[in-house]
Chain A
Amino acid sequence: MVVSKMNKDAQMRAAINQKLIETGERERLKELLRAKLIECGWKDQLKAHCKEEVIKEKGLEHVTVDDLVAEITPKGRALVPDSVKKELLQRIRTFLAQHASL
């Protein structure tokens, strides 16, 4: 018999994620984040970065998804403004507090 050893934390995280998805909160958070990022210009910054560095470096023809992901993700993470980050974290905490007892 295969015993799947998920420790409590992992189980906890899984449960929370499940709850997030079930209530639709995850989608809402995602939309909110997207909107805020566009609003603050994050998307344009990233696009400029793309144009300048990635594509010109590798050439338009040979751009792959993997390349893009590898280049863009760290930059993207770094470029998120603090206010957006704070607000999102706040909402997540609220959600967790609401669903303290499953």
Chain B
Amino acid sequence: MKMEEMSLSGLDNSKLEAIAQEIYADLVEDSCLGFCFEVHRAVKCGYFFLDDTDPDSMKDFEIVDQPGLDIFGQVFNQWKSKECVCPNCSRSIAASRFAPHLEKCLGMGRNSSRIANRRIANSNSMNKSESDQEDNDDINDNDWSYGSEKKDWELKVTLPFILLSYTAKKRKSDKNPNSPRRSKSLKHKNGELSNSDPFKYNSSTGISYETLGPEELRSLLTTLMFLFQQCGVISEHTKKMCTRSLRCPQHTDEQRRAVRIYFLGPSAVLPEVESSLDNDSFDMTDSQALISRLQWDGSSDLSPSDSGSSKTSENQGWGLGTNSSESRKTKKKKSHLSLVGTASGLGSNKKKKPKPPAPPTPSIYDDIN
């Protein structure tokens, strides 16, 4: 049709411009009309004057345009620097840190219950053997299923860290003794750790045990047990000990030996991988010497009030070898941390021992914990 034949290109610019102006004018008129209808409707429906208020109220809610204030006139970070007094411990805490502090202070909230449960489980595992693990599970009905997973985590994460930090010559932890931060950095050390002066790094024996507190001692022992059954090579970037078996392909025997020498002294020997489940074949003299030494030293650190029970419990010792042989057999559920068994019973028990000979006199650690 005619219209289709026409083309705009035939038109010159001025005409195009005129057309554009016309279109624009049309659009503006549309908008004006629209506005008129709105106003008319508002007038007829009665809401036209609704947004007018008296001058007094207008002044109250006027928009504020001063530097440093928002449009309501409020100061921006007013609450940042404010300090609140904790009702529980009566300490002055920064406002932004108040909520987490209160959570820990009152002992409520997820993290604090986790920490507490971990502490309980640790002290429990020291006393009881595997059969009591169900109790542990009942007590700790948190997100984690307690038991082997939790202990693996501890071994993997907390212990290497502890040991590595202990074998360093200087400690850098002493900032502000009163600041709540201190408890955070020490949190991984299984509960309150007094700022005891730990080791003198003795090159001949590795670590001198005399100055160890009971907590540290326990963690040291767990690491030792660790080293008897698992690879243990410390990964450079995560600082954790490798938890794979002694035949782990990622690390060489040399590395494993080096780790053991580092922790146990130059005479440490890599446990024989080929040995049958009878772990007694590996060099027990070393570990036995260590164990007996630890026994005496550990108990000497304890409060004298425990002497009555502690003497008898000493002999029950810390059957490292025993438990490691058990764990070898039944991989998963064995607790690495259960240190009960008689020292003399090393190597004699191949079966799972349901309960230790004597109920572990709620071992020495209970009182301390």
Binding site for B on A (CB under 8 A): 8-9, 11-17, 20, 26, 29-30, 33-34, 37, 43, 46-47, 50-51, 55, 60, 63-65, 68-69, 72-73, 76-77, 80, 85, 88-89, 92-93, 96, 99-102
Bound-state Cα–Cα, A34 to B253, Å: 78
Q: Is the interface of A mostly helix, strand, loop or mixed?
A: helix
Q: Do residues B32 and A11 form an inter-chain contact, with CB atoms below 8 A? A: no
Bound-state Cα–Cα, A14 to B28, Å: 19
Which residue in chain B gives the minimum CB-CB distance to A74? Answer: B32
Query: Which of B2-10, B83-91, B98-106, B209-217 faces chain A?
Result: B2-10
The 0/1 profile, CB within 8 Å of A marked 1, for residues 27-70 of chain B is: 11111111111011001100011000000000000000000000
Query: Which of B11-19, B238-246, B274-282, B313-321 faces chain A?
Result: B11-19
Q: Do residues B7 and A16 form an inter-chain contact, with CB atoms below 8 A? A: no
Instruction: Give the shortest distance, in Å, between B328 (CB) and chain A (any CB).
Output: 76
Q: Do residues A65 and B35 form an inter-chain contact, with CB atoms below 8 A? A: no
Interfacial chain A residues near B9, Cβ < 8 Å? 100-101
In the complex, which residues 142-198 of chain B have their Cβ closer than 8 Å to any Cβ of chain A?
none
Which residue in chain A gives the minimum CB-CB distance to B9? Answer: A100
Q: Which of A20, A63, A65, A77 interacts with B23 by CB under 8 Å?
A: A20
Q: Do residues A92 and B20 form an inter-chain contact, with CB atoms below 8 A? A: yes
Q: Do residues B6 and A16 form an inter-chain contact, with CB atoms below 8 A? A: no
B22 interface hit (Cβ, 8 Å): yes
Which residue in chain A gives the minimum CB-CB distance to B17? Answer: A93
Q: Report if A55-B31 is in contact (Cβ < 8 Å); known contacts: A20-B23, A68-B36.
A: no
Interfacial chain A residues near B72, Cβ < 8 Å? none
Instruction: Give the shortest distance, in Å, between A5 (CB) and chain B (any CB).
Output: 13
Q: Which of B7, B17, B30, B32 interacts with A101 by CB under 8 Å?
A: B7
Bound-state Cα–Cα, A12 to B258, Å: 92
Q: Do residues A65 and B8 form an inter-chain contact, with CB atoms below 8 A? A: no
Q: Do residues A43 and B8 form an inter-chain contact, with CB atoms below 8 A? A: no
Interfacial chain B residues near A9, Cβ < 8 Å? 15
Instruction: Give the shortest distance, in Å, between B133 (CB) and chain A (any CB).
Output: 68
Instruction: Give the shortest distance, in Å, between A91 (CB) and chain B (any CB).
Output: 9
Interfacial chain A residues near B111, Cβ < 8 Å? none
Instruction: Give the shortest distance, in Å, between B1 (CB) and chain A (any CB).
Output: 10
Instruction: Give the shortest distance, in Å, between A31 (CB) and chain B (any CB).
Output: 10
Bound-state Cα–Cα, A92 to B8, Å: 14
Q: Report if A30-B27 is in contact (Cβ < 8 Å); known contacts: A13-B19, A72-B32.
A: yes
Interfacial chain A residues near B25, Cβ < 8 Å? 77
Bound-state Cα–Cα, A15 to B44, Å: 39
Q: Report if A12-B40 is in contact (Cβ < 8 Å); known contacts: A72-B35, A76-B35, A77-B29.
A: no
B21 interface hit (Cβ, 8 Å): yes
Bound-state Cα–Cα, A9 to B6, Å: 10
B24 interface hit (Cβ, 8 Å): yes
Interfacial chain A residues near B32, Cβ < 8 Å? 69, 72-73, 76-77
Interfacial chain B residues near A34, Cβ < 8 Å? 31, 34
Q: Which of A43, A88, A102 interacts with B24 by CB under 8 Å?
A: A88
Which residue in chain B gives the minimum CB-CB distance to A50? Answer: B39
Interfacial chain B residues near A72, Cβ < 8 Å? 32, 35-36, 39
Bound-state Cα–Cα, A29 to B24, Å: 9
Interfacial chain B residues near A73, Cβ < 8 Å? 29, 32-33, 36
Bound-state Cα–Cα, A77 to B32, Å: 8
Q: Do residues B21 and A47 form an inter-chain contact, with CB atoms below 8 A? A: no
Interfacial chain B residues near A60, Cβ < 8 Å? 43, 48
Q: Do residues A33 and B27 form an inter-chain contact, with CB atoms below 8 A? A: yes
Instruction: Give the shortest distance, in Å, between B29 (CB) and chain A (any CB).
Output: 7
